[in-house]
Amino acid sequence: MATQWKPLIEKITSELVKSLLVAAWFMFLTFPLMVIRVHPLERTIEWRWMNMIYVGVGSFFLSFIWRYLMERKDGGNSKEEGDTWQKRVGLRIRSDKRISLSGLIAIGIFIFIFPFIFSSYQTQIMITALMYVMLGLGLNIVVGLAGLLDLGYVAFYAVGAYCYALLNHHFGLSFWMALPLSGALAATFGILLGFPVLRLRGDYLAIVTLGFGEIIRLILENWNEFSFGPSGIAGISRPGFFGMELSLQEHTVYLYFIMIMLVVLTVLVVSRLRNSRIGRAWIALREDEVACQAMGIDKTKTKLTAFALGATWAGLVGCIFAAKTTFINPASFTFMESAMILSIVVLGGMGSIVGVILGAFVLILLPEYLRAFSEYRMLAFGAAMVIIMVFRPQGIITGIRQRYEFHRNTQKGKAR
Amino acid sequence: MDYFLELFLGGLTRGSIYALIALGYTMVYGIIELINFAHGEVYMIGAFTALIVASVLSLMGMSGFSLLILAGLIAVIYASAYGYTIEKVAYKPLRQAPRLSPLISAIGMSIFLQNYVLLSQTSDFLSFPALIEEFEFMEPVSHIMRSSELVIVLTTAVVTALLTLFIKFSRIGKAMRATAQDKTMAMLLGVNVNRVISVTFIIGSGLAAVGGVLISSHIGQINFYIGFIAGIKAFTAAVLGGIGSIPGAVLGGLVLGWTESFATGYVSSDYEDVFAFGLLVFILIFRPAGILGRTTSEKV
């Protein structure tokens, strides 16, 4: 009897010792920053020993979960990609017309009545979430489909916003006139940025785009004659509705429907793009650049279109952002914003449209409703990015790859 | 002429700090081809640790040179521990993953560490005690160069020389070079690659902490965000000099320091960072391998 239990007890003790060591290590690691708090002016030191206990206990339990997940991941890799339940559900929803149609109708009705059953504040939050859906879908073209890591995406967002704000300020241009202009200008900037970085590989590209984003922000901040500097531009007009005067609440509802329309447009365009000639070229380019060129795909053109089309959406959303807040300044366009959009794409699943929409809702709505934890939001973002990359690099929803299956009896390829 | 010399020396100091941080980037990139985005945060954590330790010790009545050494040493130890842990948590599980995954993981780590310091300490600027005291040295130079600047430049020179010797002659240094050349082959020849990578992270992080302590003591204030810009600039320096090359990192750091110093001195101080990033874009377009880097043809 005793011998039977021995391996189990040994296993438990070794796991316990491992976790204890991890806890001790993290307590050591976080000691100066978490425990000691210096007040230089009063020349006093605050000792926060409770924090050390939190860290110790937290890392003790987290290390169990970490190791368990690690083991599961290693075990999962050896297994052939089977029919997981997610895949089955996904396929069923896609293939069964009744389910997908009724689901779509239900979602459509909910979307339509949303601003009328919820408060104006909720609608505002929803508009923000929808803006991030669009930004995520736009970045998804560049990062998810074409595989070009763009860390300066917020620059195009800023270009769109300032385009509308400045045109409105100087020439009184209306929202509907400025919207396409913002998109076009952002696309132009996308191409301008795209040209010099064409020759660069993944990580160099990331750093140059980051630098580009910072350059745009710094110019907006410092070129006072052009952009009014850090104080920004106020009093931007809201979108007009056939010349009618709208109250603030009606404006919110109106903007909500504009957003819904644009998101639907984005989803349509992006999903059509993905299956188009250029979309397939992007995916091919992402997978293998050399093989792609050997197949006769023009690398320059393909990359530039990815940059331009990705930037267009950011420009459009920028224009809407300026119209929504009626005030913009360079502080809204920091690197953190880029990182946020990137984490939406990564968390949702690179290359997957549904995933990006879900990712945007999770990342924007969760912190809104968990107000108490809002200061931990960025901390959680960072941690989530690391954890997702380590354990589920494909994101919440895996982009379903176009696959051709050959059936013997029909001798015909069928796309799935 | 005096103005020029002042700018030159200012650029030299600044460039030395960039070089110290860039060394960590370049070493890590040389071995696992990863831009360690969290490296700037390690530099910031080093500076914070030094600030905390120095404050505690000075309240206990310690001062002068021993305080600098002790605070610096503890900062280096902690920064190395952070570097080691970051590698184990965020990069090691992703050794076999596609290139984009560890990069995103690194960005996540960077955001996490920034906010960890923001929440556990403060978002305000903290004044950093001048750990390097003013002292007398060569008469004509001391008018335009502060003693802390001299210490920074000398430390960088000594540290770089030591690092070069270490990589050239020590056992683990040779293993590092072997791993950088060909990871699989090094493994076959009995090099413990995991240990080499850990040592690389530990050394790189320690150097970043040295830079962090020195520059914070020179400038006199820090906050949780200093690591981000410094990290980007140091990476720029590493790319400028040719990533993967140690003399390249130092040269790149100095070139970047001088560019910024002269551009702010003669053109405009508002666009300091624009010049740095502009230089990066410029170099990458015309010489993607960097100043000292060799252009390697891509194997298919």
* Residue B81: predicted pLDDT: 94
Which residues 215-244 of chain B have a CB within 8 Å of chain A?
A: 228, 232, 235-236, 239
Which phi and psi (to 5°) does residue A244 adopt? -85, 150
C-alpha closest to that of B107 among A348, A212, A383: A383
Q: Are B250 and B23 in contact (CB under 8 A)?
A: yes
Q: Are A100 and A303 in contact (CB under 8 A)?
A: no
Per-residue pLDDT averaged across B185-207, rounded? 91
Residue type, B296: T
Residue B36 has pLDDT above 70, yes or no: yes
Quote the CA–CA distance of A215 and A150 in Å, as a whole number. 14
Q: What is the pLDDT of residues A121-178, one digit of tens each?
A: 888 888 889 999 999 999 988 888 888 888 889 999 999 999 988 888 888 788 888 8
Q: Are B258 and B153 in contact (CB under 8 A)?
A: no
Highest mean pLDDT among A76-85, B31-40, B194-203: B194-203
Per-residue pLDDT band at A78 (split at 50, 70, 90):
very low
Q: Are B76 and B4 in contact (CB under 8 A)?
A: no
Q: Are B292 and B240 in contact (CB under 8 A)?
A: no
Where along chain B do its domains lie? 23-226
Chain A CB within 8 Å of residue B126 CB: yes
Which phi and psi (to 5°) does residue A44 adopt? -125, 160
Q: Are A138 and A310 in contact (CB under 8 A)?
A: yes
Task: Enumerate the residues of chain B whose CB falls inside 8 A of the CB of residue A77.
Answer: none
**Residues in contact with B174: Cβ distance below 8 Å, sequence separation at least 6, in sequence order:** none
Token reading at A18: 């491992």
**Residues in contact with A189: Cβ distance below 8 Å, sequence separation at least 6, in sequence order:** A155, A156, A159, A311, A315
Q: Which of B49, B107, B121 sits opposite A37 (nearest CB)?
A: B121
Decide if A382 and B126 are in contact by the 8 Å CB cutoff: no
Residue A280 has pLDDT above 70, yes or no: yes
* Residue A77: predicted pLDDT: 53
Quote the CA–CA distance of B11 and B153 in Å, as a whole number. 11
Q: What is the pLDDT of residues A5-29, one digit of tens each?
A: 888 888 888 888 888 898 888 888 8
Q: Give the mean pLDDT of chain A.
A: 81
- HEC string of A275-335? CCHHHHHHHHHHHCHHHHHHCCCCHHHHHHHHHHHHHHHHHHHHHHHHHHHCEECHHHHCH
Decide if B280 and A208 are in contact by the 8 Å CB cutoff: yes
Chain centroid offset of residue B286 CA: 25
* Residue A93: predicted pLDDT: 65
Q: What is the pLDDT of residues A301-315, one digit of tens each?
A: 888 999 999 999 999
**Chain B nearest C-alpha distance from A196 (Å):** 6
Task: Enumerate the residues of chain B whose CB falls inside 8 A of the CB of residue A292.
Answer: none
In terms of CA atoms, which chain A residue is nearest residue B123?
A375
Look up tokens 């807040």; give the residue: A325
C-alpha closest to that of A319 among A398, A373, A388, A238: A238
Residue A264 has pLDDT above 60, yes or no: yes
Per-residue pLDDT averaged across A242-255, rounded? 75
Q: What is the pLDDT of residues A32-48, one digit of tens each?
A: 888 888 776 777 778 88
Q: Are A393 and B97 in contact (CB under 8 A)?
A: yes
Where do you find CATH 1.10.3470 in chain A? Answer: 104-391
Helix (H, G, I), strand (E, B) or coil at A405: strand
C-alpha closest to that of A282 among A306, A300, A266: A306
* Residue A415: predicted pLDDT: 47
Residue B85 has pLDDT above 90, yes or no: yes
Residue-level length of chain B: 300
* Residue A209: predicted pLDDT: 86
Q: What is the pLDDT of residues B72-83, one digit of tens each?
A: 899 999 999 999
Chain A CB within 8 Å of residue B279 CB: no
Decide if B284 and A384 are in contact by the 8 Å CB cutoff: no
Query: CA A161, A164, A168 angle in degrees (round to 5)?
Result: 140
Per-residue pLDDT averaged across B124-145, rounded? 71
Q: Are A149 and B103 in contact (CB under 8 A)?
A: yes
Q: Which of A211, A381, A389 sits opposite B280 (nearest CB)?
A: A211
* A74-78, A313-317, B34-38, B237-241: least confidently modelled range: A74-78
Q: Are B95 and B194 in contact (CB under 8 A)?
A: no
Per-residue pLDDT band at A416 (split at 50, 70, 90):
very low
Per-residue pLDDT band at B268 (split at 50, 70, 90):
confident
C-alpha closest to that of B15 among B280, B215, B213, B282: B215
Eight-state DSSP code of residue A396: S
Task: Enumerate the residues of chain B whose CB falls inside 8 A of the CB of residue A43.
Answer: 59
Q: Are B50 and B219 in contact (CB under 8 A)?
A: no
Token reading at B181: 């050349």
Quote the CA–CA distance of A409 and A381 in Å, as a whole number. 50
Q: What is the pLDDT of residues B209-266, one digit of tens each?
A: 998 888 888 888 888 888 888 888 888 888 888 877 888 889 999 999 998 888 888 8
Residue A367 has pLDDT above 80, yes or no: no
Decide if A208 and B284 are in contact by the 8 Å CB cutoff: yes
Q: Are A193 and A209 in contact (CB under 8 A)?
A: yes
**Chain A nearest C-alpha distance from B143 (Å):** 30
In terms of CA atoms, which chain B residue is nearest residue A32?
B49
Q: Are B211 and B22 in contact (CB under 8 A)?
A: no
User: Counting one residue from A and one from B, how many pairs have CB atoms under 8 Å apart?
Assistant: 166
Eight-state DSSP code of residue A235: -
Q: Tell me what percent of the residues of chain A surpass a pLDDT of 90.
A: 11
Decide if B107 and A36 are in contact by the 8 Å CB cutoff: no
Q: Are B80 and B206 in contact (CB under 8 A)?
A: yes
Decide if A212 and B277 are in contact by the 8 Å CB cutoff: yes
**Residues in contact with A116: Cβ distance below 8 Å, sequence separation at least 6, in sequence order:** A253
Chain A CB within 8 Å of residue B201 CB: no
Q: Which of B51, B271, B280 sits opposite A38 (nearest CB)?
A: B51
Task: Enumerate the residues of chain B whose CB falls inside 8 A of the CB of residue A204.
Answer: 239, 284, 288
Which residues 133-172 of chain B have a CB within 8 Å of chain A?
A: none
Quote the CA–CA distance of A307 and A146 in Å, as a whole number. 9
* A36-45, B2-11, B175-184: least confidently modelled range: A36-45
**Chain A nearest C-alpha distance from B255 (Å):** 18
Considering the domain delimited by A104-391, tell me its CATH architecture. Answer: Orthogonal Bundle (1.10)
In terms of CA atoms, which chain A residue is nearest residue B288?
A200
Which phi and psi (to 5°) does residue A118 adopt? -105, 165
Which of A25, A27, A33 would best serve as a mutation to test chain B binding (most B beta carbons within 10 A)?
A: A33
Quote the CA–CA distance of A156 and A134 in Å, as a whole number. 13
Residue A60 has pLDDT above 80, yes or no: yes
